[in-house]
Amino acid sequence: MQKCEYNKVTLEYTSNMMYNLIVDTKWNLLYYVAQDGSIPVKEYIEKLSFRERAKTMAYIELLEGKGPNLPRPYADILQDGIHELRIKLKGTQVRVLYFFCYQSNIILTNVFDKHTQRVPVDKIDKAKDNRDDFLRRYSDDEIRRMR
């Protein structure tokens, strides 16, 4: 099998003359920072045990690698561009809500322990409010400079 690489795209030539296009996109993960300086997702993760933190960070790295191609059961779309990262920690369902913006960025907005069948509407509304606040405060150019 021969490989031809161009930027972040790999084209594989297999023996039966089929071509597989592999897109190697790395998404940029950013924590939402509230106007009061708090960082909800980061603060939640820091309170977890070492083992729970490691599992949560592994899921976040998976999201960073796959972006919108991360399938269920790891991730799902909720509504209006808000997605959820689905993590199970010691029997507790944890949800990290996030959105995509400016081509290659994922913004982690808020996190909560899920105790009901559906994601509570107030948690989704909080993610939307955080998204609107983030987009109001930061442009694409400002995010590029932060990286």
Residue 22 near residue 10 (C-beta atoms within 8 A): yes
For the segment 33-47, what is each residue's pLDDT rounded down to a tens digit? 999 999 999 999 999
For the segment 96-122, what is each residue's pLDDT rounded down to a tens digit? 999 999 888 999 999 999 999 999 999
pTM, entire model:
0.81
For the segment 7-39, what is each residue's pLDDT rounded down to a tens digit? 444 444 444 444 444 445 679 999 999 999 999
pLDDT of 25 reads 60
For residue 71, report the phi and psi dihedrals to the nearest 5 degrees: -85, 175
CATH class of 26-146: alpha beta
Segments making up each domain of the chain, as ranges: 26-146
